[in-house]
Amino acid sequence: MTLKLTEHQEVLLEKYGLLMERFGLSPVATRINALLTIVDKEAISFDEISSTLQISKSATSTALNVLISLGYVNFKTVLGDRKRYFYAETESWKIRMGKSFEVLLELAEVLNEIANCKSDKDLTQKKDVIAYSNFLTELGNCSIRSLQDTNVE
């Protein structure tokens, strides 16, 4: 049941997993998500995930449930087969990224409100808050436009 990964796939799995940990996911969840993204199969079984990554069934189950609830992973079934086959939900990436950029725009609005409430007693900080707000607005708007122009759904 263990999938045979190339050395390059193993390196990518670790790199991708480490990067995804920065978004607050557990190491097990990030490795599962990375495996599902890297593997050269449409979907893989629970047992293939568990044995390939050498993690317990309970840790696999917990991480898969988290990934499914966050929209990173989904599963399908095959008629006549009781197993669930898991895959990375790559089609939702654009939506998740768009929501992240919308949060940046909201933060920029709050920073503008903060700057408007500040007197000119600390003009340096006020200017810094405005500059950061402007940066986030530009970054958010540019990124959202870029996402809208991509073919990734």
Cβ neighbors of 19 (< 8 A, separation 6 or more) are: 30
Q: Comparing 147 with 103, which gets the higher pLDDT?
A: 103
* Span 96-141, pLDDT tens digits: 888 899 999 999 999 999 999 988 887 889 999 999 999 999 999 9
The one-character DSSP state at 26 is -
Tell me the pLDDT band of 153, cut-offs 50, 70 and 90.
very low
Cβ neighbors of 130 (< 8 A, separation 6 or more) are: 111, 112, 115
Q: Please, are residues 49 and 38 in contact by the beta-carbon 8 Å criterion?
A: no
| Residue 15 pLDDT > 90 | yes
| Residue 33 pLDDT > 60 | yes
What is d(CA 83, CA 118) in angstroms, rounded to the nearest whole number? 59
* Span 45-83, pLDDT tens digits: 999 999 999 999 999 999 999 999 999 999 999 999 999
Q: Does the predicted model carry a pTM greater than 0.85?
A: no
| Residue 152 pLDDT > 60 | no
The mean per-residue pLDDT over the stretch 10-17 comes to: 96
CA distances, 15 to each of 5, 145, 150 (Å): 14, 28, 25
